[in-house]
Structure 1
């Protein structure tokens, strides 16, 4: 049992695939190259002490025994103990191989899987928000506010799509006008700084909502992100409405910054349940305006399309595409693959 560093990715069927975030974990099995992907009900990470127990609960629902596993986790993939960013699980592939009798395990970052999904999904799973025509092999950026703020990119080179993972959700975020300065005084900081993830995720919506309320001397009425976004969408609460407007503006700015970094002529893709839930707010012009407000390059930004990924399990679709046709993707497995030899 060794860590594998070669780049020849051929996984033996059946293959277990999994998208594991801070709150939810989604699994599926690919029996062979021709079979449809069999998906299982979403599970809550808080319901299981370890990822191995969660996977075993999935395998108990079928008589199929996987030989390989391709897992995408919300974490930095380093070493034999991978600590999840926003939940208590620690992924230990060597132990997993023994506990679950899986011979070959690859672990990727969860937003690498979202990046893979961008080329695996059809137009029916994408809601376009302005911009020009996406370049067929143009660079692409994926970001998604969820339990945290995931960020990745997808580059095309040598006839393959190469996902670029990172921790872009932790870049600095700051105010640009007097009202935002007033609100930012009340945003919760981490070690003296406000990162994008402090605002652009589920708990970030709550942080921002509280800050808006405090700036106005009001008592917050809501404690859950779903309550705030719903009240913001139907405009039934003034504080929630302003919070949602600011959230969309900040999301547009961060998306625009990332689009400039990668010059994403292939588009910017918003992933995750929050983007799907607040779609009406994303299409009202505020997101696009903030995205394009990047002088002296606003004329370039106007041509870059934004898409909301509407597929409910996009990451699994991306993992399945990689598992079936690995040569289509330039995925680096060095230090991220464990295999019995």
Structure 2
């Protein structure tokens, strides 16, 4: 037991793929990473058991999982997939000593203190104070938001649904986008813009705003055309995306005085990173009226780590096992 407890299993479960890894609890080094389509398994327990057997890790009995849904008790029901289960029943069925379940962005938040310098890029602000609160937001299929508060030698994650607050337009162009989105949805939240579907929605709205007759594009196509500078409309779409992202990130900074830093994760921003510098992202982050000077002090980091969810699940598990 002493030898096996040096290692554990962590997972990051999305609506499409299930990612698993072994972690060395002393160094938080990840290895034996495997990715499976969720649709290949009837249950999460089946996927975990398959991973253990495939990698020869059946002796490991401590597991932490970040999963894309709220965790509000023993019963878990995924938002964008059909897995649902009891945490206690899964733990008993697999004979695990520890089974921790957390929201996927709780896991990302827990990764922040463990990020190496080459896993993040600072965009403005002063040096981060590791003893102060942190915020993380990430645009992908949706917009994830969470905070992290240091407490002695531990960290307390504050999960939430900040991607679904009200979105406030600030320019004539944004008012036009708002009206377009309001005609499609009963509530216009930041997620309606700051996500893959959001990029597509911005593109359609800007085409109408500029009176350009063009077929809709996928988020990937918009990104490719913006990066290659082959479409002025795609470039304008990404610039609007970054402006809105900066405003929301700045709101998070104010909400909890995040002098530990605001971290931008998710799949979209790292792919569009070359266009960040020409955007209004940091300007909009700072533009908070009487508190603009306050926000100018707060650093923003772009998370470039490949698997922050796995790393954060490992940090949470290590903290829990330490008591």
Same-fold call, TM > 0.5? yes
Q: Tell me the CA shift for residue 69 of structure 1.
A: 1.6
TM-score normalized by structure 2? Answer: 0.89
Instruction: Normalising by structure 1, report the TM-score.
Output: 0.85
Structure 1 residues 95 and 174, CA gap change in structure 2 (3 angstroms) = same
Residue matched to 2:16: 23
Give RMSD over aligned pairs: 2.5
Whether 1:57 and 2:50 are equivalent positions in the alignment is yes
Cα 1:169–1:126 change in 2 (3 A) is same
Residue in structure 2 matching 1:292, options 286, 289, 298: 286
Q: For 2:150, which of 143, 149, 156 is the aligned residue?
A: 156
Write out per-residue CA displacement over residues 176-202 of structure 1, whole angstroms, 9 at most, x where no aligned residue: 111111222222667611111111111
Instruction: State the SS of the aligned residue for 2:289.
Output: coil
Structure 1 runs not aligned, ≥5 long: 1-10, 330-341
With over 3 angstroms needed to count, the CA separation of the structure-2 counterparts of 1:191 and 1:114, relative to structure 1, is: same
Whether 2:113 is the aligned partner of 1:119: answer: yes
Structure 2 unaligned regions, length at least 5? none
Deviations 1:197-246 (A, max 9, x none): 11111122122222222334445445421111121222212222111111
Judge conservation of contact 2:100–2:317 (CA < 8 Å) in 1: no
3-state SS of 1:60 partner: helix
Please report how far the alpha carbon of residue 289 of structure 1 lies from its aligned counterpart in structure 2 after TM superposition.
Answer: 0.7
8 Å CA contact 2:200–2:219 kept in 1: the answer is yes
More helix by share: 2
Q: What do residues 9-42 of structure 1 show as CA deviations (whole Å, max 9, x unaligned)?
A: xx96652211122333321123665795323233
In the alignment, which residue of structure 1 is the partner of 2:295? Answer: 301
8 Å contact from structure 2 (residues 173, 209) kept in 1: no
Q: Once the 2 structures are TM-superposed, how far is the Cα of residue 98 of structure 1 from its aligned partner?
A: 4.7
- Work out whether residues 243 and 279 of structure 2, in 8 Å CA contact, stay in contact via their aligned partners in 1: no
Is the 2:243–2:284 Cα contact (8 Å) retained in structure 1? yes
CA 87–172 in structure 1, closer or farther in 2 if over 3 Å, else same: farther
Paired residue for 2:169? 175
On the 8 A contact 2:285/2:295 being kept in 1, the answer is yes
Find the counterpart in structure 2 of residue 196 from structure 1. Answer: 190
Q: How many residues align?
A: 319
User: Deviations 1:123-178 (Å, cap 9, x if unpaired)?
Assistant: 11111111111113121101101121111111122332211111111111131111
